[in-house]
Structure 1
Amino acid sequence: EEIDTSQLETADWTIIYVPSPPASIRVLLHVYTCIIEEVGPEILDIVSERLVREKWGGKKGGLFQKPKIEEVIQKGIREFPGIFADCVKALVTYQLDKNKKALAERWLLGENLEPEELSELGINSVVEEDDVCLAMIKIITENLDRVLILYFDELESPYRMLGETAERKFLEILKRLYNEVKGLVIIIAVLKEIWPRILEIADAPLRSRMEPEEELKPFSLNDLKIFFSKSMETFWEDNNLNPPLYPLFPLNEKLIEMIYEKTQGNPRNSIKLCRRFIDKVVTEEMSVEELLEAGSDIVATAKPPTREVEEEIIDFSKPREVIKKTIEEILAEEEYIIDVNPSSVAGASLKSIMKVGEEKNKDFNTQMEFKFMMGKRNQTLAALIEFEGKKWG
């Protein structure tokens, strides 16, 4: 069913694009990071200003009267008790304490702080802990000046890359966000054949609150041209650049037509292929003419790695190495690009260890996101491995 958007009520909202998480752990931190990156660090100013100064009495009483930070914190904790306490302390410190503002900002942005830095803030937890991270998301969504729309892309990826357990855990977190967080709309994009499994995992109350699914129609050739030109127009505007005269730059009409033929108008694959082609043109790996001439086989010259200190010796008597890639391979390549971060590295390392163990008939006991206490603080390891009575983290 097509909807006339002009009939919808106007409202302030921001779409947060959430790519498939790189690992099955710290998914809430992944969502939180996407929110911060999309809205920008000013989100902390908006939320802390509204809470600290307008609700918790953090306004100056006069020229020489400064609000007492501890009193403001206690007012905040009365509104947000328990697991929210450290979030309240960080927001109040960020808004009222100039000397510790930078430290509080680092905590609020999810950076790892040293134990002595946490002590300076009077905080025991870190944002990467699921409960603390969810608490921050709740505080933000309830006190932001707009609705946040979380757009989760490629929901099938956790299952494909990490297995059914990871998929179920990811969907449980989605359920938790959906049930516990106000001021939030969730949209998920998933392959048609995967959707029944997601409905199966969802409980009855969750299913009753879900809108009917919509199947995206394939792009027509004209749709794809308009989509690409509008996307590039947004790019030029966002970067304060004068748009080129040709609306399909840096690609051209023939290349867009070839992308359409190869993807049969599939929106996801069309966008991926456009992005890959732009990368090749912008990085000067290939020209538009070379892409067109290559047809279904894309040819790229492999460049030797650069060295900062030692000059590389090149044997010019040998032919230049040429790598052939089909357009389908480029699509596959795009599907498996992941962000390199501690979570993804830990997940990949654990998977490799388990694979080696299987090949050598060794039985490793593994546990993702292992939690333990060190002193009075909760600590989390990305993974724990047990073998023959020994443990590694």
Structure 2
Amino acid sequence: MDLLIAFVITLALITAVSLWYRISPFFTLVGGAILFGLLSGMTLDATLEGIVSGLGKVFASFGLIILCGAVIAILLQEQRQAEEIVSDIQRIVKNPPALAGFSGYLLAVPITCCVTAYVMLQPILDCLETDKLRRNVLLYLAAVGSIISYALIFPTPVVIPLFTAFGTGTSALVYNAVAIPLSLTVLAGAILFYRWARPEVSFAANPLQPGDIRQDSGYGIHWRAWAPFIAILVAIPVSFFLLGLSHVGIINFIMLVGAVTAIALAPNGIRATGLTKSAKHAGMIIFDICGAGALGYVIVKSGFTEGVLGQLIFLIPVILVPFILAAVIETAQGSRVVTAVITAEVLAGSAVVGAIHPIPLILLISAGSCIVSYVTDPYFWLVQRTTGDDINTVVKNYTLPIALAGIAILVVAIALEYLVFR
């Protein structure tokens, strides 16, 4: 069968199974890998070998990082330290929407999961605002903020596979020098979007004051809550300048330092239960991402890159190929990490990589991963459940602003490619 037709059929069935059965993405992605391998003419044995290789490759890249992020997140949650972090941010960021958006933005990166960051913030934001309309605006902004940083900043599980595949010869610091200001600008745009889209929701009548979140917290900085993140920041120059580690070594080293700091500071009673919960939470995330690696590896082994992508380059501008490919994959299965892993696998070694500078290329894929955050996106349903809004309202307040963020990132990526890197 033609590889493009096999690809479309596989993505369509992944979408249908995800919607009908709501089972773990791991099973739909591995099932999709088997289906695509057989449709593309690969033997069952070769397909299964590709699946095993893809699983192992992704686990080696992400296993330790995600486990460390889960350890930090769960131990913070068990000690209610996320509330202390938000309380500290509140002393600087007085505006409630900005507080919610920036809190989601900030937590998603070191925790290595935007959904986990939202789950940690949701009960805090529920306490901050009792009015349903205002509370929901805060929840939407926390979700959007977490996705913006998660899709753009290195090192997150979305950016790591893209930087590993395409960032040869490019410094992570240089990339973040572009990605961080861009992400903060997009976040500011998202906050303004809610002021425009929800003019009936005003926070002026109920301003937040320092100490609203934790009445017993006082006015000092909660250093124990911030300690894992401070340790990660300190570990970056140490790993780079003193230890001379590679990019892969730096990522794993700094996350280990953060996790060890969180474990060391946790009380004995919380430490053991927190580590058990962390392993369970990380395992669910890791297996889903490994399923993406399986599908991506089988697609690459089928010859898809040489065949289909070579044809697409003649049909559409090469600058749009990474963006469209990522948007299609994101629409089919809903996970930005899965989208990044599969897109990196498919594009690696293709003519597209040689035609676009690594920084715009990574931004193009990140932009595509934001375009369609709809019914196949597990985050969409989590936001719908926690806000209690109907689907149309969630589309307006979650799907639309993320799509607009994706378009903004796309425009910046194209501008960088043609105006800066050529």
Query: TM-score, with normalisation over the residues of structure 1?
Result: 0.26
For CA contacts below 8 A with separation 6 or more, give which structure has more relative contact order.
2
The structure carrying a bigger helix percent of its residues is 2
The structure carrying a bigger strand percent of its residues is 1
Query: TM-score, with normalisation over the residues of structure 2?
Result: 0.24
